[in-house]
Amino acid sequence: MKSINEFWGKFPSHIGYLEQCVKLGHNEEFKLRYNVINEEVKKLHPALQVEFSIEMLEAKVDAIIVTSKEKGEGRKAAIKIAENCPANLKSMVTPYRLPALGWELEVTDNWMLDLCRQYGMPSIAGETSDCLVNAKCAIKKNPSNEKLLIQFSFKNKRELKAIDEELVFLMFDLLLGEQIIAEAIDSLSINTQKDMMARKGDWVITDGLGFRDEILKALM
């Protein structure tokens, strides 16, 4: 606990410095301090990483994300550190990455295309994006724990084999944020639309552009 308290004890200075860098446009100084903070958090656990969400117009840090590159002990360490932040930072600190696209913004074909260009194979980004957009997503609640069961289904086996499942998982992470993935989803299976239709139950079915909003609606 002492080392966690020491880590958080430096944050008023860190936040002030980062905000001043944003205000003055000092990008290199911002990166240097960002790297210092991440070197410090790795002393608590090597898988940890600190990220910041910044309101650029106001030059204000509005979220501090203490996250982990691994799901086991690293994730536990991130949650423990976030839970033990000072009271004045509670509203800003989370152990989960925030959605890359604000929930008030629409998921578009262009967003999907950008995703595939950045994280998939750029030479086939258009085809990959079309597969994701035209996929079907089936959603229902597990009555035993109220978490969501999700199927993300491609048209056929050829598309299923062609699209890296890690790209699908990343898409869910970026659109929903890590907290929903970790706490509200019971299972996420990737299959074909034929497989999806074979599963009985009261599924809500939408497409690749609409699944985020249907999931958020199901959780309300």
User: Digits of tens for pLDDT over the chain (220 positions)?
Assistant: 679 999 999 999 999 999 999 999 999 999 999 999 999 999 999 999 999 989 888 999 999 999 987 778 888 999 999 999 999 999 999 998 888 888 889 999 999 999 999 998 889 999 999 999 999 999 999 999 999 999 999 999 999 999 999 999 999 999 999 889 988 999 999 999 999 999 888 899 999 999 999 999 999 8
Same domain, 113 and 89: no
Domain end position, chosen among 94, 120, 149:
94
Same domain, 65 and 164: no
Same domain, 60 and 142: no
Q: End-to-end alpha-carbon separation of the chain, Å?
A: 36
Looking at residue 200, what is its pLDDT? 83
Q: Does residue 131 fall inside a structural domain?
A: yes
Looking at residue 59, what is its pLDDT? 93
Q: Does residue 78 fall inside a structural domain?
A: yes
Q: Does residue 179 fall inside a structural domain?
A: yes
Task: Report the run of H or E that residue 52 belongs to, with start and end.
Answer: strand 48-55
120: amino acid identity, one letter? G
Same domain, 139 and 210: yes
Same domain, 119 and 66: no
Looking at residue 45, what is its pLDDT? 95
Same domain, 82 and 11: yes
Domain ranges, residue 185: 109-219
In a 3-state reduction of DSSP, which class is residue 10? coil
Phi, psi values for residue 182, rounded to 5°? -75, -35
Same domain, 215 and 113: yes
Distance CA 37, CA 196 (A): 45
Domain end position, chosen among 70, 94, 118:
94
pTM equals: 0.74
Domain end position, chosen among 94, 121, 153:
94
Same domain, 137 and 214: yes
96: amino acid identity, one letter? Y
Looking at residue 178, what is its pLDDT? 87
Same domain, 19 and 57: yes
Cβ contacts of 50-55, under 8 Å, gap ≥ 24: 51/97, 52/18, 53/98, 54/18, 54/19, 54/22
Looking at residue 75, what is its pLDDT? 87
Same domain, 136 and 68: no
Q: Nearest to residue 85, comparing CAs of 137, 12, 17, 147?
A: 12
Q: Does residue 104 fall inside a structural domain?
A: no
Same domain, 38 and 113: no
Looking at residue 112, what is its pLDDT? 96
Distance CA 157, CA 194 (A): 9
Q: Does residue 185 fall inside a structural domain?
A: yes
Strand boundaries in 60-219, DSSP class E: 60-68, 93-94, 136-141, 148-154, 185-192, 204-207
Q: Does residue 101 fall inside a structural domain?
A: no
Looking at residue 179, what is its pLDDT? 86
Same domain, 143 and 84: no
Query: Can you read off the two tokens belonging to residue 216?
Result: 């958020």
Looking at residue 176, what is its pLDDT? 95
Q: Does residue 46 fall inside a structural domain?
A: yes
Looking at residue 68, what is its pLDDT? 87
Number of domains in the chain: 2
